[in-house]
Amino acid sequence: MWQEILDKFRRYPAQEKVIRLILQRGFQINEQARVVSGGIEIPHAQIAKELDVDRRVVDTTAQAIREDEGLWRIFRNVHSMTFLGDVAPILGLGVIEITPVDAAKTGLLGDVASAVARHGLSIRQAISDDPYFVESPKLTLITEGRIPGDLVRLLMEIEGVKRVTVY
């Protein structure tokens, strides 16, 4: 599905950058072809500045999404979510970051979650980067407590795990 969306903008690299940012941030496109987060409008000039593109590129991309019924059904319903990764240590939570050998391999999340559960840790959040949007996708788990060293060793033994980083 994501590839189909990106393919619609493949001939327009600047618009593709806008699409990627909108998806990565979980922004929506509203009825007026404006980029929003819930009811908060995100100025197109700000998006353009971050991406180093002309504001009109953002306007054109948002309008193209609004005019395509299939795209608009998706982009009016996308939502962002809170990611606890950066604040977890402050809150006394553990952070495990798994770098996979192959992000498309199935079962990695289940294997990692099972190993964490066997060590008696509750998982508060699990976030997996989408390989279509992130060059080096990772699986990040936020746990109820600190990560013991023997769990790290066990995680490294799971097939498909390239690297384990704990914060």
pLDDT digits (tens, 9 = 90+) for 44-92: 999 999 999 999 999 999 999 999 999 999 999 999 899 999 999 999 9
Please give the mean pLDDT across all residues of the chain: 94
Cα separation, 160 vs 56, whole angstroms: 43
pTM over 0.85: no
**3-state percent helix, strand, coil for the chain, nearest multiple of 5:** 40, 20, 40
* Predicted local confidence at residue 13, as pLDDT: 94
Mean pLDDT of the region 23-47? 96
Rounded Cα–Cα distance for residues 123 and 113 (Å): 8
pLDDT at 1 > cutoff 80: no
CATH number of 94-166: 3.30.70.260
Domain spans, the chain: 2-75, 94-166
Q: Given the structure tokens 């299939």, which residue do they identify?
A: 70
Pairing of strands 139-143, 40-41: unpaired
Check whether 120 has a pLDDT greater than 80: yes
